[in-house]
Amino acid sequence: MFNETYKLSNGVKIPKLGLGTWLIDDAQASQAVVEAVSIGYRHIDTAQAYMNETGVGEGIRSSGVAREELFITTKVAAELKTYEAVTKSIDDSLAKLGLDYIDLLIIHSPQPWTEFREENRYFKENKEAWKAMEDAYKTGKVKAIGLSNFLQDDVENILSSCKIKPMVNQILAHVSNTPLELIKFCQKNDILVEAYSPIAHGAVLDHAEVKVIADKYGVSVAQLCLRYDIQLGLVVIPKTANPDHMRNNAELNFVISDADMETLKNVEQIQNYGEHSFFPVFGGKLK
């Protein structure tokens, strides 16, 4: 699985499987990256908001693998919506990570988290932020630029005036919550979709119907969920600091039948993500 890649619209290759680091603190992040790289991961996903870029950077340097063999993503904090603030944050991220360049830089959300999916859409401000991203791309500070949590009209807003098209939209996409229309729209516009929380923070693990299908293939529910997203043409970035989970998440050498894919697309939507419902994408607002 580790050698499999997609090609972004600018020709940059991105591994289909990455390690997510949300909720992994700075101290743990270094070790998690070292473990993941030793297992075979080459794609690490972090964000300014995760407060662990320093730890991720330490892990990269301690991994023993050449920088150019790794694909590192970070995200501009959702609250930063001016050209100046975004530009400064990119330099801050490079300094914290200790890197000369970032492989993929993403705007974390179209709105600040406290206003997520509310009335103010920040269309004008996102264009400002995007211009800063384009300039960082032109100077080589970042190799690819993209979006996260952007709905179709948020993406269209960027497409309407950008000089460089977004290459990625990272969204919540998993069995029992797959925004197929948005995925189709992005793919039609040459924007690769990345799926964060592809195992629904574990909320899907007890789902009886999904378990039956996983058993049929002799795999875990987590593995089935990851394979499902990959077969939709998505990058998956499951989050874990557990080396055993890292290994299992990479064992995806099976193919889900078309009939089972249809069943999985239509699994009833999860209404409650349990302890993770505080996250704005799930819970509406930061609590």
Q: Which CATH class is domain 5-283?
A: alpha beta
What pLDDT is stored for residue 204 in this prediction?
83
Residue 237 · residue 199 · CB < 8 Å: no
- How far is C-alpha 129 from the geometric centre of its chain's CA atoms? 19
**Cβ atoms within 10 A of the Cβ of 199, count?**
25
| Number of alpha carbons in the 13 Å side-chain half-sphere of residue 277 | 8
Report field, pTM of the whole predicted structure over 0.85: yes
> How are beta strands 145-148 and 168-172 bridged, if at all?
parallel
Q: How far is CA 35 from CA 19, 242, 243, in A?
A: 11, 9, 6
Distance CA 177, CA 198 (A): 10
Q: Rounded to an integer, what distance in angstroms lies between the CA atom of residue 13 and that of residue 91?
A: 24
Measured CA to CA, the distance from residue 93 to residue 75 in angstroms comes to 9
User: Which distant-in-sequence residues (6+ apart) come within 8 Å of 261 by Cβ?
Assistant: 228, 231
Residues facing 44 on adjacent strands: 19, 72
Nearest to 281 by CA among 85, 97, 89, 49: 49
| Phi, psi of 45, rounded to the nearest 5 degrees | -115, 120
Is the Cβ–Cβ distance between 218 and 252 less than 8 Å?
Answer: no
Backbone angles phi, psi at 244, to 5 degrees: -65, -40
Which parts of the chain register pLDDT below 50? 282-287
Q: In this structure, what are the phi and psi dihedrals at residue 49, rounded to the nearest 5 degrees?
A: -70, -20
Structure-token pair, residue 140: 């080589």
Alpha-carbon span 19 to 249, nearest angstrom: 10
Contact 107, 130 (CB under 8 A): yes
Active centre residues (catalytic): 50
What are the structural domain ranges in the chain?
5-283
159 touches 136 (CB < 8 A):
no
**Residue 125 CA neighbour count, 13 Å, CB half:** 15
Angle (nearest 5°) at CA 122 between 112 and 273: 40
Tokens of 30: 């270094």
Q: Are 50 and 24 in contact (CB under 8 A)?
A: yes
Each residue of 260-279: pLDDT tens digit? 999 999 988 876 666 655 55
State the DSSP code for 239. Answer: B
Q: What pLDDT is recorded for position 283?
A: 45
